[in-house]
A and B are shown apart, each in its own frame.
Chain A
């Protein structure tokens, strides 16, 4: 028994490079495939199905899936469920993209400034980002969007992004800080390369896994916040979003009326998106942090 556990320990400590790679790939590939599936479903769906049905109330109400003309049924105001899903999915992904890109741009600028320049710049940026991390952002978002009644998907994404940059800033700052003193960066400095050159040519490529993980993190955080706001009825009113459909379903007590398709289908798509992003994030995290690779989970 003891001998067995010893070999097991050794096996755990030093997995072969090949098994590491399959593990990484598996999570990234699964996650990527899930996101891709949502994209394909919604993009191809657009070609074959009329998304205008997501707004029209002319269809019969409360149809179950499989009804003629409405393969996934309709909700209580006659909107076609299939059309709702097809037009809601991309909106949700779009919010993630906007939040991810915006917060990364801010995060890279502030993170580099704080980590590379240090001193008072670092102190100021750290104080502000620590503050932003402490504030319960969803609560503030609720207040802000309760006032800004009419908004587009883009506006909402930008508002959400206002609170999503602090995480990436922190990650990038920490990495830059530890990278700044590494040999190749010192060499670059000695050879009188300009600061932007050192930052973007020399250091950036080494930061890529961290950047990717931070991007996915803030994108899914952004989607989470946006769907939350939509579920409270605070999202964009004119565009049929997944969160809004769920919110309508809850208010129409779809659960207790047994209309599982009304709440179940949009939440299913949302879950695929969330779990997909989550798997990608873990996969990237393991690439960025080699110590996590050894263990199986």
Chain B
């Protein structure tokens, strides 16, 4: 295939495996450097909160065995890597018989839906805003108004979310405060249910879109300005092509590729930030689950979720790296 050498593909796949291994290793060893082990910590917590744990010593012993906490560290580590490789995250510590993968499976569709829609919209709007900011023929009014919309870029998602809740939930009463859909409705393809899902998802999505839009806009603006000096644009203008045609076929088309890279690289931070948005809005996705797990010291769930987050981000980067040379004929990895 044009631009894709075997070496390049192998290198990228090696990077993919290396990244996952490195993150998994950090997650394994850092917690073990901290004093105490999760199981004892949790029993202590339950006891401290006033709950009496029947035969806690036996419970601890059983759990320790189940999670292999008495094995030598290396053995634990190998077992841990094997479990991750097979996506076996074990049981939740806080809701013992429930499997972590089951909990993640329930939360995942919510997060994917929210993220996919919000990321797409912010990418779309941001790119348009950025292109308009750099375009010579943009009306003056827009040139003044657009930069104002960028102020939000500096503000974290959830801080914007707080303001949205205040305005739309508290002051105007337009949207529900939390959850993913009304609890009294049966999940399904009914109008009422979908409507409820959309209502619950609007504010979380809006806070992500508003807060990350400026990031795309700035990148796009920078690229548009860089492209603006190119000879082919001067030629296109000299040929008397319609301005809109020049904008879309010549300027935007050439400026948009680095945006695609940024989209995937930015995914990591969007995923991280969503955790907070979901927590704020009580959205039933992985972020809220993660927050719950943190408050319950449910370490298996925390590790499971974070591993899935890493896996998704790294996979997205891999796919982009492999697709990119096909998208942009100017880039060839053959020479390296």
Contacts and interface: CB of A to CB of B under 8 A. Distances in A.
B118 interface: no
Given A135-B22, A138-B272, A274 B155 contact: yes
Nearest to A276: B154
Contacts of B23: 135, 140
Contacts of B146: 297
Given A138-B269, A143-B306, A294-B225, A231 B30 contact: no
Contacts of A127: 15, 18
B225 A292 contact: yes
B252 interface: no
A291 interface: yes
B115 interface: no
Residue among A136, A227, A263, A275 with max Cβ neighbours from chain B (10 Å): A136
A249 B299 CA distance: 26
A139 B26 CA distance: 12
Contacts of A56: none
A224 interface: yes
13 contacts: A134-B265, A135-B314, A140-B27, A142-B306, A143-B31, A146-B299, A147-B30, A147-B299, A220-B154, A228-B156, A255-B165, A295-B134, A297-B143
The DSSP consensus for interface residues of chain B is: helix
Given A12-B136, A258-B170, A297-B133, A138 B34 contact: no
B8 to A, nearest CB: 14
Contacts of A278: 153-154
Interface of A is mostly: helix
A44 B245 CA distance: 57
Interface of A: 5, 8-9, 12, 127, 130-131, 133-140, 142-144, 146-148, 220, 224, 227-228, 231-234, 246, 250, 255-256, 258, 260, 263-264, 267, 270-271, 274-275, 277-279, 282, 289, 291-292, 294-297
Contact of B162 (A12, A255, A277, A282): A255
Nearest to B268: A136
B162 A263 contact: yes
B325 interface: no
Contacts of A255: 162, 165-166, 169-170
B199 interface: no
Nearest to B163: A267
Given A9-B136, A135-B313, A256 B177 contact: yes
B200 interface: no
Interface stretch (B75-83, B86-94, B275-283): B275-283
Contacts of B229: 291
A291 B221 CA distance: 11
Contacts of A146: 294, 297, 299, 302
Contacts of A264: 166
Contacts of B272: 136-139, 228
Nearest to B157: A228
A139 B271 contact: yes
Contact of A139 (B150, B170, B306, B317): B306
Given A130-B15, A134-B265, 17 more contacts: A8-B136, A9-B136, A127-B15, A127-B18, A131-B15, A137-B272, A140-B310, A142-B290, A146-B297, A227-B156, A228-B272, A233-B294, A234-B294, A256-B177, A263-B162, A274-B154, A297-B133
